[in-house]
Structure 1
C-alpha cells in the first residue's frame, strides 16, 4: 500500500498537494513526459561550467536548462519560500533584517570574532538530506523523490539551481539551532551567511574555548570546515565579515562599514576606461556596483557617492581636448545632475 500525503504541514503551510506524476503535471501545467524526463535524466538538462576562484582553483557552476529552471522556480515559489529558516540565517532572504550589511552590523560592536568557512557547501548537502526535507513536510515517497530529483544533480545540491540557496538554509536549520543554543548560553553572537559563519563576543578566551565544540557541531551535521579560511579577529586587526570591513569610526565608540577595497578599485578602473575610450556599454553595471558600495557605506561620514563624483570630475579633465570623448561623456554621464563637460 502506497504512502499517503501527511496533511498536517502540507495544509498548515498551504503547500501544493500531489501524489502522482499526473497530479504534478496538472498543478504545474507541464506534460507528464517532460516532468518524467526532467526528474529521471536530470544531468541532460544542465550545462556545467567552471569559473576561477580567488585562490586560482575552479568553481563548478551547474546551469539548468530553461525548462528545468522554470520547474525549479515553481518549487521555490510554491514550497521552499513558505518555509522559514533559522533566525541566524542571513543569506538568501528578503527584508531589512537580512543580507551582507545586517550580518556585519550584528557583530560590529564586539571586540573579538571567529570567522568560519564551510568547505564545498552546496555539494555537502546530499540528495538524501533533500529527500528527508520534503518527506518531513508531509510528501509521500513518490512526491518527495520527484522533488528531490528535480532539485539535485548527481546526488548533490548543485550550485546554480534556483532551489539550492533556499534548500541549504532549511537543511542547515538543525545545525543553526544547535549553534544558537550553544552561543546564547555563553553570551556569543552567531550568524551564518550561506557558507560563511561568524561568532563574536568581548572575551577572546571564550571564543577559543568554544571553537572545538563549534567545530564538532558543524561536523556532526555533515559539513567540513575550510581550515585555511578560519580566522580569529582581535581589536588590533580589522574585522571582515562577508566581504565588509568593520573599522573604528570618527566619533567615540562608533564604527564604519566599508565595502571591499578591490571592488572600489575595480569601479574606478572601469570608470577610467569609459572616460578614456568613450565606450560606456558597461555604464549600468558600474552604476549597480556604485549603488552597492553606497548602500554599505551610507552611514559613514564621507558618502561614497560624493567621493566617486569627485573622482569622475577630476579624471574627466583629461579628455577635454578630445571632442569625441567629450560628446560620449556628456551623453552617458554617470550622474545626470553632473555638469556637462566643455571641450577645449
Structure 2
C-alpha cells in the first residue's frame, strides 16, 4: 500500500477511535519508512496478532515458552554424524510463514547467494564454476546456531521496526537464542544476515577476476587466484559476524583433479559425483532384479515414500543432464511401479 493511501485511511479510523492528533502524527511517522520499503506496519503485539490471525496470548506464550512450540528430531549428515532439526509446530509455523512472505522476502539478498531463493538454486550455483583453472570451497562452521537472536533483532530494527516489535519478531524466529534448523524463516534470515559479508567478498572477487557463489554455508570460488590471500580475506570477514570457517572443509581443487561444488562435478559437464550415481544405480539394479518390496525388505528400508525419494534423486541427475538415457529408464521404471 502506498503511504498516501494508508495515511488517509489511518487518519479517518484513528480519529474515530479517539486518537489525539499528536498520536496520529507519531504513528504515521513510524509507518512511512516501513511502507516506503514495502514492509507491513506493525505497531504492537495486538496489531501483530490481527495480522497473523493468532491470539495475542498465543504469541506471548510462543516467545516465552519457545521449546514447547517445536518438535525435535535428528537426521544423518553426509559425514555420518547427526544433525538436530527443530521443527515449529503448525501454528507457530504459520506465523513464521507470514513473517517470511510479508517481511523477509521483501528484503533483497546478495545475487551471489544461490540457496533459499525462488527460481534460484543448486544448478545456478554449480554452473557458474564450470571449467575453471582452480576451485576453492569453504564451509561456515555451525552456520545457523552461530546466528544469534540479537543479530535477528538488529535485522528487524534495520527494516524500521520499533525495539518492541523487533524484539518480538526475533523471538518468534529463534529458539534457544539462535536460528533453529527447521524453521521456515531461518534460511532467508541467514541470507540477510550474511548479505554484508557477501558484498565484501564479491568486491574482492570482482577486482581479482574470481567467481564467487554461496549456497547456504558453502562458499565456492573459481578462477586463477592466490588461495592464501582469499582464505585470509574470508576468515577476517566472517569473524566480524562471529562466524568461523570449518578448518577440515577447506578444499582446493586444481585442473588435473576432480573439481566439485556442493557435491557436483564441475570440471566438464556438471554431474553428480560418481559414488552417489553408483549407489543410486545399485539401488535401481536391485529393484529391477528382485522387485521393490523384496529389495526394501532385504535392505530394511522403511521409507513410506521410498519411490518419491528415489525419483527426487533421479530427477536431480536428469536436471543436470537431461539426455542421460540410463537414468531416464530408471525414472520410467519407478513411475511404472507407482501405477
The TM tier, using the shorter chain, reads 0.7 to 0.9
Q: Provide the alpha-carbon RMSD of the alignment.
A: 2.5
Structure 2 residue corresponding to 1:124, chosen from 103, 121, 146: 146
Query: Do structure 1's residue 147 and structure 2's residue 169 form an aligned pair?
Result: yes
- Residues 38-47 or 13-22, more deviating: 13-22
Q: 1:68 offset after TM fit, Å? A: 0.9
**Residue 274 (str. 1) matches residue 287 (str. 2):** yes
Counterpart pick for 1:235 among 221, 245, 255: 255
Contact 1:50 1:60 in 2 (8 A): yes
User: Alpha-carbon deviation of 1:142?
Assistant: 1.1
Moved more, 163-172 or 184-193: 184-193
For residue 230 of structure 2, the aligned residue among 183, 207, 210 is 210
- Could you tell me how far 1:67 is from its partner in structure 2? 0.9
- Return closer, same or farther for 1:311/1:287 CA change in 2, 3 Å cut-off: closer
Which SS does the other structure have where 1:86 is aligned? coil
| 1:29 counterpart = 2:74 | no
Larger relative helix fraction: 2
The answer on whether the counterparts of 1:21 and 1:32 sit within 8 Å (CA) in structure 2 is yes
Query: 1:177 maps to what in 2?
Result: 199
Counterpart Cα distance in 1 of 2:248 and 2:208: 26
Q: CA deviation at 1:30?
A: 0.9
Partner of residue 339, structure 1: none
- Residue of structure 2 equivalent to 1:85: 109
Ranges in structure 2 where 5+ consecutive residues have no aligned partner: 1-22, 297-304
Report the TM-score, using the length of structure 1 for normalisation: 0.81
Cα distance between partner residues in 1 of 2:121 and 2:33: 28
Counterpart Cα distance in 1 of 2:313 and 2:153: 38
Q: Which runs of 4+ in 1 moved over 6 A?
A: 2-5
Aligned to 1:257: 270
> Alpha carbons of 1:114 and 1:31: their partners in 2 closer, same or farther (altered >3 Å)?
same
Q: 1:311 to 1:86 in 2, by over 3 A?
A: closer
Tell me, what secondary structure is at the counterpart of 2:109? coil
Whether contact under 8 Å (2:77, 2:83) holds in the other structure is: yes
Deviation at 1:261, TM superposition (A): 2.9
The match for 1:17 is: 41
CA distance in 2, matches of 1:147, 1:335: 44
The number of aligned residues is 303
CA distance in 2, matches of 1:51, 1:278: 24
Which runs of 5 or more residues in structure 1 are unaligned?
Answer: 248-254, 314-328, 337-344
State whether residues 127 and 148 of structure 1, in contact with CA within 8 Å, keep that contact through their aligned partners in structure 2: yes
Query: Residue by residue, what CA displacement relative to the aligned partner does 1:124-157 show, whole Å, maximum 9, x if unpaired?
Result: 1000100000011011011111100000001101
Question: Using the alignment, how far apart are the partners of 1:189 and 1:308 within structure 2?
Answer: 31
**C-alpha separation in 2, matches of 1:264 and 1:335:** 22
1:253-275 CA-to-partner distances (Å, cap 9, x unmatched) read xx200113343234334333433
Shift of the 310–78 alpha-carbon distance from structure 1 to 2, 3 Å rule, reads: closer
Match of 1:308 among 306, 314, 327: 327
The match for 1:191 is: 213
TM-superposed deviation, 1:85: 0.4
1:244 matches 2:268: no
1:283 is matched with which residue: 298, 303, 307?
307
Q: Contact 2:318–2:328 at 8 Å: present in 1 too?
A: no
1:99 Cα deviation (Å)? 1.2
TM-score by length of 2: 0.82
Moved more, 117-126 or 177-186: 177-186
Match of 2:302 in 1: none
Shift of 1:86: 0.8
From 330, 333, 336, the equivalent of 2:336 is: 333
